[in-house]
Amino acid sequence: MIISMRPHATKAEIDYVCERIRDFGYKVHSIEGEERVVIGVVGVGDVTACLESLEATPGVEGAVRISAPYKFVSKEFKKEHTQMRINGLEIGGDEFIVMAGPCSVESEKQIMETAEAVAAAGAKILRGGAYKPRTSPYDFQGMELDGLKLLQKAKNATGLLIITEVMSDRDVDMVADYADIMQIGARNMQNFALLKSLGRCGRPVLLKRGLSATIKELLMSAEYLVAHGNSNVLLCERGIRTFETATRNTCDISAVPVLNELSHLPVILDPSHAVGKRSLVPAISRAAVAVGADGLIVEVHPCPEKAVSDGAQSLTVPQFRAMMLELKPYINLWKESRHKEVAAAV
Amino acid sequence: MIISMRPHATKAEIDYVCERIRDFGYKVHSIEGEERVVIGVVGVGDVTACLESLEATPGVEGAVRISAPYKFVSKEFKKEHTQMRINGLEIGGDEFIVMAGPCSVESEKQIMETAEAVAAAGAKILRGGAYKPRTSPYDFQGMELDGLKLLQKAKNATGLLIITEVMSDRDVDMVADYADIMQIGARNMQNFALLKSLGRCGRPVLLKRGLSATIKELLMSAEYLVAHGNSNVLLCERGIRTFETATRNTCDISAVPVLNELSHLPVILDPSHAVGKRSLVPAISRAAVAVGADGLIVEVHPCPEKAVSDGAQSLTVPQFRAMMLELKPYINLWKESRHKEVAAAV
Amino acid sequence: MIISMRPHATKAEIDYVCERIRDFGYKVHSIEGEERVVIGVVGVGDVTACLESLEATPGVEGAVRISAPYKFVSKEFKKEHTQMRINGLEIGGDEFIVMAGPCSVESEKQIMETAEAVAAAGAKILRGGAYKPRTSPYDFQGMELDGLKLLQKAKNATGLLIITEVMSDRDVDMVADYADIMQIGARNMQNFALLKSLGRCGRPVLLKRGLSATIKELLMSAEYLVAHGNSNVLLCERGIRTFETATRNTCDISAVPVLNELSHLPVILDPSHAVGKRSLVPAISRAAVAVGADGLIVEVHPCPEKAVSDGAQSLTVPQFRAMMLELKPYINLWKESRHKEVAAAV
Amino acid sequence: MIISMRPHATKAEIDYVCERIRDFGYKVHSIEGEERVVIGVVGVGDVTACLESLEATPGVEGAVRISAPYKFVSKEFKKEHTQMRINGLEIGGDEFIVMAGPCSVESEKQIMETAEAVAAAGAKILRGGAYKPRTSPYDFQGMELDGLKLLQKAKNATGLLIITEVMSDRDVDMVADYADIMQIGARNMQNFALLKSLGRCGRPVLLKRGLSATIKELLMSAEYLVAHGNSNVLLCERGIRTFETATRNTCDISAVPVLNELSHLPVILDPSHAVGKRSLVPAISRAAVAVGADGLIVEVHPCPEKAVSDGAQSLTVPQFRAMMLELKPYINLWKESRHKEVAAAV
C-alpha cells in the first residue's frame, strides 16, 4: 500500500497515520516529497481493512493498493495455464472448445434438433437456459426442471456436455444434478451468496463478467469460488456496457490477453451477447480465436425468428456450420501457437 | 412497436413480417418511405416476444418498442405520488426522510452510539448492514443474525425504524423478522430470484439502482416486486459507474426528476455511495433535497477511520449533525413546493 | 511519483530504473515489500516524461503520479475562490450569475426578443451561437459574422453581456471583437490549438467539459489557457456521456464540489445540455444552486418548436421566468453560505 | 422519422404536429395505438431540423430518425468497398497495410532508424507526430516543421509513405506538403473547422474515432470530409473510453465489422492506443486481421523507455519484427477471404 498525505498535512496527522499502520501489523516507510509526504506500507495483513481505515483518516488524500487483491486465481500463485478435465473433455489445453445452443430450452424438438446439429458441426458442449434471467417479470422465465431434463436427454443422445445457468443459491443442488458446467450469468457475477454456494457445489463453473464489472472484479468473483472450494473456474468475457449502441454491448476483446497475463484460468468468449447481432458473430469469433481465448460460447437456434429470447443474436444452424468451417484454419494457427507456448514452458 | 425494414427488403420479406405480426395478435400499419418500409404494430399482446422474434426475422433492420415495458410502477398506471406508511412513518408524503447509520453493524457499542446520535440529529430510520456484499472473499462479510439483533436493540432504544440489506432469497424471512425496510443492494438489482422472494415478503423494499443499470431497468426490477405482490417499493439512486474516477461513482442527479416523471414511487438518494468521499456528501445532499428526492440514505460512523468498511465516505457524528442543520432551510423549501404540488393536484 | 516493479523484477532491472530516475534529476526511495519493490521518486523535474519513460522500462509494472499535473488552476496555487470582474459584472463573487439565450442566433427578431425577456427575468449574460458545431455537415452551421453583429445589437439594447462560442483558432480575433466571454464547446475541450489562441486573446473564457473528459483533464485544459496567458477561466459542467439514454447526457453534479475542492476557478452548470429535456431543467437548476455552482447557462427560446437547434431542451420565455422566480429562495440560501465562507476565510 | 405522442396528447396537439410535419414538406401517416398515437413521417427534406422541431413541440414524447443521417459514406450509396491508390500504394484492396513508427518524431537518428527497421519488417507507411496533442501544456508539443522535414527525409531514404497528424486548420497546407495521409486525432474528430479544411486539402485522411464517439458520429465526421470534397477517407478504431482501467482504452473490436456493414470506407485499427500496453499489442493485432480490418497503425520506437511520449505502448523494433512474422499466416487467411468476397461480388 501507498498512502499519500494531503499537501499540508500536519506532523501530528502523519504520526497518527503511521501509528495506525503499525496497529495493523505493517511496517512504515515514509518519504518526504516536495509537496507532501507519501508513506509506503510493507508487510502481510488485512489489506482492505487497513486501506479503508486509512482513507478515512484525517490528513490522508488517498490510499492505493499495490499488490493484487486476488491470490489463488493469479498467475503469481500458479504459472501454468489451468487445464480442466470435465467428463473426458479437456478445457484450457490444446483443443479450442466450442459451446453452442439456444438461449433458452423451449421444447424437446428444439433442443434435440439443435444439439444434433451443433454436435455434427463440431461443438463439444451444449448450452441452453432452463432458468432465465429476464429484465421483465412478464417475459418467459424458463422451463426450469423440465428444461434440465430435456438437456439431459440431448446429452444422452449426442454425447455433448451440458452448460446451463443457475440463478439462485437455492437451485444449486438441483442444477448440479444435470449440468456438467454451472453458468453464473453476468447479472449475478457479484451475487455473493450464489458464488459461495457454487464454491461448494463440486462442479466446474463458467463465470460471466458483469455488464460493468472491471477485469479485477471478475477475478475477485472467481477468487470467491476458489476460496470456497472450487478451483474449476472458466472466465467468460461477454461484452461490457458502454455508451455505444450500435452493438448490444461492447466486446472487450483485450480482456482475453489481459486475463491471460493476470490469471491462469481459461477464458471463454461469448460473441453472441457481446455484439447482440447475428451477422457480426462470425467476425468476432475469428477474433476470439486469434486473440487467444480457450473457447467460444455461441447462441444457435433452429429458427431464430421463433426463439422466445435472443433471436436476433442467434445463428441459424447453417450459419453455425459455415462459421465452424471458416474458423478451422484459425483454430489450426491457434493450436500451433499453443504448442509453441507449451514447448517454451518446458 | 415500430419495425423498420432494411432499405432493399423484398416484398416477400415484408409480407412475412406482417404475417408474423398478425400471428401475435396485432394489427399492422405499413408505411412506405423513400428508402424503406416501416411497419407500425398496434394492439395488446406479448410485446417482448413479438419484438425479439421480429428482430430475428430476415429483412428486418430494427424493432423499437414505443410503450413503456413496465406498468404498475408507471405514472400512467397511478397518477399520484405514492405515500407509504411504515410503522407510523410516512415516506413519499410531506416529510423529507433521512435514513442514516454505519455501512456495517460492527458492535453493540458502535450501533447504539450511532443510532442515538442520528436520531438526535433528526434521522428517522437507522441503516446498517448485517449481511455485507464485499468484492473480496477475504473481507468482513457482516455479523449476520447477531447484527440483526443489534439493530433491533438500537430500534428499541431509539424508536428509529430499521433498514438493512438482504443478499439471498434464502435469508428473506429471517431479515424480514428484524427489518422495517428490506434493502436490495446495487449488485443485486437484477437478482431476479431475490426480487421474487421480496415481492412476497410483506415488507417495504428499498431497491438500489445497479452500477450500470438504466433508469428503465431500475423500473423493470421494481415492476418485478410489484408484480409479485409488493407495492411498497422505494427507488434509490446511488451513483452509476462511468469513466470518471474523481468520485467513487457518478451521482446521476437527473435520475430523480426522470423517475418522478415516469413513476409514482418515492425516490431516495444515497450521496455516500454516489460520491464515495465524505467531504462531498453535504453538497450532494443539498442537491438531493433541491432536486425533489423524497429522502436520503447516508452513511454515518462514530469513528470512520476505524470502520470495517466504507470509512472514507462515512460522515462523523458532528459532521452529520452539522449537515442536518444546514439542510433545514432547503427542506423547508422542499415542503413548500410539495404543498403546492398537492394543492395543484386537488 | 511511485514506481511499482513487477513481483519478480531482477536486481539489474531495479538498479536500471533507479539510475533512470536519477538521470531525470530525482531522488530515489526504494521500499522492499513482501512481493515486490516499490520506488518513491522525490524532487522537481519533468514528471510526465519521467513517468512515461519509466512505464516503458523493463521490470516496471506501473508508475503513478502523486502530485496533481496542473498548477496555476489548483487550490494549492491560490486558496481563495477567483472573482472575475467582466465589464462591470462580477462572477465568482456573491452574485449567482445566470446566462441565458437560444442555442443559435437565428434572426434579429428572435435574438432581440429573447434578450429582452431573459434580461427582464434576471439573467445577466446572453448566450447564443453564431458558429455552431453540428454533428451533420448538412445541418445549419450558424449565422457567423451576422450572428455576432446581432448579439452586439442585443447587448446594446439590453445591457446584457455576451457569451458565444468560437470553434477555430482562425476565428478567435473576430469573435473577441463581439464577445465578453468566449466559449469553448465540449467537443473542443482538447483542441489544443484553440486553447493556445484563447490563452492569448485577452477575453475571459468559459471552458466546457468534454463529453468524456475527466475532471482532471478539464483542469489540464484550463491550465493550457492560464499557461498561455489567460487567467480568466470559467469551468463548465454540461453533462458527460454514459450508458444512460433517458437523458441526453448524465449531469455530473458532483463535479461542482469536486472542482471547488481542487481549483479556485468559478464553476458554471449547463442544465440544458446536461439533461437535454426541457421539463428537467428547473429541477437540475435548483440542484446546481444548492450544490454550490457559481452560475447557470441555460437555453431559452421564444418558440422552441421552431428553433433550428436544441429545441427540445430550450425553455420557453414563460418557463424561464417561472424558473427564475422559483430559484430565488435557493439563491438566497446560496448567498448566505457564500457570506459565511468569506467570513470564515477572513 | 417516427413521432410518438404522449399517452394523453390532445387532438389539437396531434393536429398541430401533423401540420408542422407538412410544413417541412413531408407526408403524414398516423397510427392510433392502444395507448398513444404514433406518426410516421415520409418524404425528403431537412430531417434534423424537422426532428428537433418536433421533439420540442407540446404533446410529443419522442422523435426517432429511421434513415441513416449520413449518405456518401454509406453502403447504400456505394456497395463496393473503397480501394484507394495513394502514391502507388493501394489501401482497401487485397493487401493488408501496416503503418508503423514512433508516437513523436524526436530526432533524425530516431526517425531514420525506425523507418528503416519498420520498412524492413514489412510496413508500408511511416507514422510519426510532428504536432502532438498533449493533455498538459508543459509536455513536449512536437518538433513541428522540423519534424515534417525529418519525415520527408525518412520517406526519401526508405520509400515509405508518410502519415502524420494535423491539429489546426491553420496548419493544413503546410502538413499537406509533407504528408501522404493526413491524420485527424481522436480529440479532433468533431473539430468541424478542421474537418472542413481537410475536406478541401486534396490528400487522403485517416480519421480517428473520438474517445467517446459513437460509430454513427464517426461516420458523420467522415461525411463532413466527403461533403467538403474529400472522398479518400480511412476510418480508424483506436479504443473508446469506458469504466475499465486495466487497459488505456477499450478496443471496440466490433466496430470493424459494424463499419464494414454500414460503410464502404476502409477501416484501420490502432492497437497501440486501444490498449496502451506493449505486451497486448500483438494479440490485438492478430484479432484486427481476423476481424477483417484493412490495416493496422502501430507504435514502434527504437528505445521505448527513452521515448518522449507513449513509450509504454510502443513496440521495440525486435518486437515489431516478431509480430509481423506472427501475423503472416493470419494475413494469408485474410487475403483468401478477400478474394472470395471479390469473387462473390463479381
**DSSP one-letter code for A157:** H
Contact A69 B241 (CB under 8 A): no
Report d(CA C143, CA C148) in Å as an integer. 8
* pLDDT confidence band for D61 (50 / 70 / 90): confident
Res. B275: pLDDT tops 90: yes
pLDDT tens per residue, range C179-216: 999 999 999 999 999 999 999 999 999 999 999 999 99
| pLDDT average, residue stretch C274-290 | 97
DSSP symbols for D70-136: --TTBTTT--SPP-EEETTEEESSSS-EEEEE-SB---HHHHHHHHHHHHHHT--EEE-BSS---SS
Contact B105, B143 (CB under 8 A): yes
- The vertex-A279 CA angle with A276 and A283, nearest 5°, equals 95
Model confidence pLDDT, tens digit, residues C326-343: 999 999 999 999 988 877
Please answer yes or no on whether D49 and C308 come within 8 Å at the CB atom. Answer: yes
Q: What is the pLDDT of residue B346?
A: 62
pTM: 0.95
Average pLDDT over residues A99-121: 97
Q: Name the residue of chain D whose CA is nearest to B75's CA.
A: D7
Confirm if A23 and A57 have CB atoms less than 8 A apart.
no
Residues of B with CB under 8 A from a CB of D: 2, 4, 7, 29, 31-36, 38, 40, 42-44, 64, 66-67, 76, 212, 241-243, 245
Q: Which residues of C touch B (CB under 8 A)?
A: 212, 214-216, 240, 242-247, 250-258, 261, 274-275, 279-280, 283-284, 286-292, 326, 329-330, 333, 337
Q: Which residue of D has its CA nearest to C56?
A: D312
Of A243, A257, A283, the CB nearest to D291: A283
Question: What would the mean pLDDT of C257-261 be, rounded to a whole number?
Answer: 97
Residues of B in contact with D245 (CB under 8 A): 245
Work out the average pLDDT over A323-345: 92
Q: Which helix (H) or strand (E) holds C86?
A: strand C84-86
Looking at chain B, which residue has its C-alpha nearest residue D26? B33
Q: How far apart are CA D154 and CA D162, in angstroms?
A: 9
Strand, helix or coil for residue C332:
helix
In this predicted structure, the answer to whether residue C345 has a pLDDT above a threshold of 70 is no
Helices (H) and strands (E) counted in chain C, each on its own, are 11, 14
- The partner residues of B267 in beta bridges, in order of sequence, read B235
Cβ–Cβ < 8 Å for B162, B100: no
Residue D258 to residue A247, Cβ atoms within 8 A:
yes
Strand partners, A181: A163
N residues, chain D: 346
- The CA distance from C160 to the nearest CA of chain B, in Å, is 28
Residue D37, beta-bridge partner list? D32
Contacting chains of C (3 CB pairs or more, <8 Å) are A, B, D
- Pairing label, strands D60-64, D89-91: unpaired
Residues of D within 8 A of C241 (CB-CB) are: 212
Radius of gyration, CA atoms only, chain D: 23
- Point out the residue among B137, B306, B314 whose CB comes nearest to the CB of A227: B137
Per the document, the length of chain C is 346
pLDDT tens digits for D165-208?
Answer: 999 999 999 999 999 999 999 999 999 999 999 999 999 999 99
For residue range B304-340, list pLDDT tens digits in order. Answer: 988 888 888 999 999 999 999 999 999 999 999 998 8
Judged against a pLDDT cut of 90, whether residue A148 lies above it is answered with yes
pLDDT at C214: 97
Q: How close A240 comes to chain C (CA, Å)?
A: 10
Q: Which residues of B touch C287 (CB under 8 A)?
A: 253, 287-288, 290-291
Contacts of B241 in chain D (CB under 8 A): 243
pLDDT of residue D345 exceeding 70, the answer is no
CA distances from A324 to A97, A121, A270, A281, D265 (A): 11, 7, 15, 11, 28
Question: Based on the number of CB atoms within 10 Å of its own CB, is D340 exposed (0-12), middle (13-18) or buried (19 or more)?
Answer: exposed
* pLDDT digit string, tens, across residues B130-143: 999 999 898 889 99
Distance CA A183, CA A5 (A): 44
Please tell me the distance from the alpha carbon of residue B198 to that of residue B205, in angstroms, as a whole number: 7
Residues on A contacting D at a C-beta cutoff of 8 Å: 212, 214-216, 240, 242-247, 250-258, 261, 274-275, 279-280, 283-284, 286-292, 326, 329-330, 333, 337
Looking only at the bridges linking them, the beta strands covering C205-208 and C181-184 are parallel
Partners of C312 on chain D (C-beta within 8 Å) are 52, 55-56
> What's the CA gap between A106 and A1, in Å, rounded?
52
A64-109 per-position pLDDT tens digit: 888 888 999 999 899 999 999 999 999 999 999 999 999 999 999 9
Report the run of H or E that residue A27 belongs to, with start and end: strand A27-32
Using a CB–CB cut-off of 8 Å, the residues of D that contact B are: 2, 4, 7, 29, 31-36, 38, 40, 42-44, 64, 66-67, 76, 212, 241-243, 245
- Tell me the percentage of chain C whose pLDDT exceeds 90: 77
Most A-contacting residue of B20, B44, B50, B55 (CB-CB within 10 A), to test interface:
B55
Q: φ and ψ at A60, to 5 degrees?
A: -90, 130
Chain C partners of A70 at a C-beta cutoff of 8 Å? none
Contact (Cβ atoms closer than 8 angstroms) between residue D17 and residue D60: yes
Percent with pLDDT over 90 in chain B: 77
Residue pair B17/B3 in contact (Cβ under 8 Å)? The answer is: yes
3-state class of A303 per DSSP? coil
CA count, 13 A, side-chain hemisphere, D108: 4
Sign of CA dihedral C118, C124, C129, C133: negative
Length of chain A as a residue count: 346
ipTM: 0.94
Asked if pLDDT for residue B342 goes beyond 80, the answer is no
* Structure confidence at residue A346 as a pLDDT band (50, 70, 90): low
Closest CA to B100 of B334, B335, B281: B281
- Interchain contact, A290 vs D290, CB within 8 Å: yes
Interface with C, mutate which of B218, B291, B332, B341 (most C CBs under 10 A): B291
Closest residue, chain A, to C8 (C-alpha): A76
User: Taking a C-beta distance cutoff of 8 angstroms, is the pair A230, A206 a contact?
Assistant: no
Band of residue D346 on the pLDDT scale cut at 50, 70, 90: low
- The confidence band for B345, taking pLDDT boundaries of 50, 70 and 90, is low
Closest Cβ–Cβ partner in A40, A42, A243 for C34: A42
